[in-house]
Amino acid sequence: MLPPFEIHQPATPAEAVALRARHGESAALYAGGSELLLAMKEGLGAVEHLIDVKTIGGLDTLALASDGAALVIGATVTHRALERSPLLRSRFPMLADMERQVANVRVRAVGTLGGNLCFAEPHSDPPTALLVHEARVVLHGGAGPRRLALADFLVGPYESALGPDEILTHVEIPLPPPRAAAAYLKFGLRERPTVGVAALLVPDVARVAVAEARVAVGCVGPVAARLPEVERALSGLPLAALEAGWPSAETSGERLDAVGDLHGSAEYKRAMAGVFVKRALAQAARRARAAA
């Protein structure tokens, strides 16, 4: 049962920031509400003011930046809009595919990318997938906007680098290098994933070997993270070998800072990270070889 609250509908980031400053701890930024309202119904926190970020102009953008070098996604764009976006599907097919697998359609219809990143629940899909795209977040605070690499924004479970007076306004995703192909795989039995793995491979010109590899694992540890050692080991490997299943991948989760919970033991999660790194690499390699 929702407690009573007052809703504020700012038109600009600056207004939202001012509202945050005015109401402090008793205020919460409100996007789709799919997490926030659940928590409020449970009686967690003492939220009396909701600051609706959906009324802020420009936060529903989903377009290429004017210089064409990055995709810009406004914080209030829903998972459903991303999943169905022709732009995403053609330019970032792995992200569209990942978005299609987030939660269920009811949650996707209201849940926003910004809400997902700011809630910073470790069992999430978008952070992992965005990490291999080297995404940045744009935060707006009293001192104006600042940009941060997503990897620096993700701090820990339910913890981001968002300042007390800031809001997230946009996510920027650089266009991937030519020929790059990516895959995202998630695994789990519950509402939220047990393991999420994203792999992005940039093949050489002949599409025979790996020129650059990016691999990220989410849900296993406190925050989603890239696997630099695995990425280095992949460099130069033949794509055909990855497509057939790269045995070394199986141990790639071994060093992860895994946390045992209702989803599974730390040991199982590490093992599954390895299995899905292998499978995601195979899928990305197949796409990298096939792309015309």
Ligand X SMILES: Cc1cc2nc3c(=O)[nH]c(=O)nc-3n(C[C@H](O)[C@H](O)[C@H](O)COP(=O)(O)OP(=O)(O)OC[C@H]3O[C@@H](n4cnc5c(N)ncnc54)[C@H](O)[C@@H]3O)c2cc1C
Q: Is 33 in the site for ligand X (CB under 6 A)?
A: yes
Which of 67, 86, 90, 189 touches another protein by CB under 8 A?
189
With CB under 6 A as the contact rule, which of the stretches 29-37, 172-180, 202-210, 236-244 interacts with ligand X? Answer: 29-37
CA distance 126 to 190: 17
Q: What are phi and psi of 137, to 5 degrees?
A: -110, 150
Q: Per rule CB under 6 A, is residue 29 in the interface with ligand X? A: yes
Residue 271 near another protein by CB under 8 A: yes
Binding mask 53-82 for ligand X (x = CB under 6 A): x---------------------x-------
Does 265 contact another protein by CB under 8 A? yes
Residue 45: other Cβ atoms inside 10 A: 13
Pick between residue 33 and residue 203 the one whose CB is nearest to ligand X: 33
Q: Which of 115, 122, 221, 264 binds ligand X (CB under 6 A)?
A: 115
* Binders of another protein in range 15-44 (CB under 8 A): 43
Decide whether 75 or 234 has the Cβ nearer to ligand X.
Answer: 75
Residue 189's binding partner, choosing from another protein, ligand X, none, with beta-carbon cut-off 5 to 8 A by kind? another protein
From 249, 272, 273, 277, residue interacting with another protein (rule: CB under 8 A): 272
Stretch touching another protein by CB under 8 A, among 72-80, 143-151, 231-239, 262-270 = 262-270
DSSP codes, 161-217 = S--TT-EEEEEEEEPPPTT-EEEEEEE-SSSS-SEEEEEEEEE-TTSSBEEEEEEEE
Provide the 8-state DSSP code for 23. Answer: H
| Alpha-carbon separation of residue 250 from 23, 193, 266, 276 (angstroms) | 49, 19, 15, 8
Is residue 207 left, alpha or beta, with left meaning phi > 0 and alpha meaning psi from -120 to 50?
left
User: Could you give the CA distance from residue 142 to residue 124 in angstroms, rounded to a whole number?
Assistant: 29
Residue 106 in the binding site for another protein (CB under 8 A) = no
Do 82 and 71 meet the contact criterion of CB atoms below 8 Å apart?
Answer: no
